[in-house]
């Protein structure tokens, strides 16, 4: 796996370091990566996809009725 570097306030790093022992993470890197992964998962799970396909379905239903396929 390839890694990049990001910057976060030193204050935050200290806070995380203080928490490390009780959380069981081996390093600040690992802690932060985990937290971010969880957040992104949540955001992605919202699935705007669903909304669009429902809209599409309604639209198509309407069209198919107009064309005589559905009544």
Partner 1 sequence: MDKENLKFVIVGHIDHGKSTLIGRLLYDTDSLPKGKIEEIEQICKSLGKDIEFGYVMDHLEEERDQGITIDTAQIFFNTTKRNYVIIDAPGHVEFIKNMISGASQAEAAVLIVDVDEGVKEQTKRHAYILGMLGLDQVIVVINKMDMVGYERGKFETVKKELLDFLSGINIKPSYIVPISAKEGDLIAGKNENMDWYQGPDFLQALDSFRVKESAKDKPLRFVVQDVYNFDKRIIAGRVESGIIRKGDKIKILPSGEETTVKSVEEFLKNVTEAEAGKSTGIITEDKLFIDRGDVIVHDRDVPVLTNHIRANIFWMDNTPYNKGDTLWFRCATQDVACEIEKISRVINSSTLDLIAEDADEIKNREVADIIIKTDKPVVVENFNTIEELGRFVLRTDDTLAGGIITELVQ
Partner 2 sequence: MITVLAIDALEYTLVEKFDCNNLKQKYYGKTNISEFSEPRTMVLWSSFMTGKNMEKEILAKGDKDMWNTKLDIKDTFFDQFENPKIIDLPGFSYITDQHDQERKLLKEFFDAQSEEEKGQVRVDYNNLAFEHHRKIKEEFIDVLEADHDFILGYFSVADVIGHLNFGNRTMMKMIYKDLDEIAGSMKNQFIVLSDHGMEQIGIFGDHSNYGFWSTDFKDLGNPGITDFAKIIKEMR
**Contacting positions for partner 1 (CB under 8 A):** 17, 20-21, 27
| 71 is an interface residue for partner 2 by CB under 8 A | yes
| Binds 27: which of partner 1, partner 2, none (CB < 5-8 Å by kind) | partner 1
Residues 8-67 that bind partner 2 (CB under 8 A): 52-53, 55-57, 59-61, 63-64, 66-67
Give the Cβ contact number of residue 67 at 10 Å.
8
> Which residue ranges make up the site for partner 2 (CB under 8 A)?
52-53, 55-57, 59-61, 63-64, 66-71
């Amino acid at each position: 796996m390839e890694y990049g570097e990001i910057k976060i306030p030193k204050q935050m790093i200290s806070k995380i370091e203080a928490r490390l022992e009780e959380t069981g993470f081996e390093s600040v890197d690992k802690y932060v990566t985990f937290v971010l992964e969880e957040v992104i998962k949540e955001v992605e799970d919202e699935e705007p996809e669903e909304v669009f396909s429902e809209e599409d379905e309604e639209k198509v239903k309407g069209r198919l009725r107009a064309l005589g396929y559905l009544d």
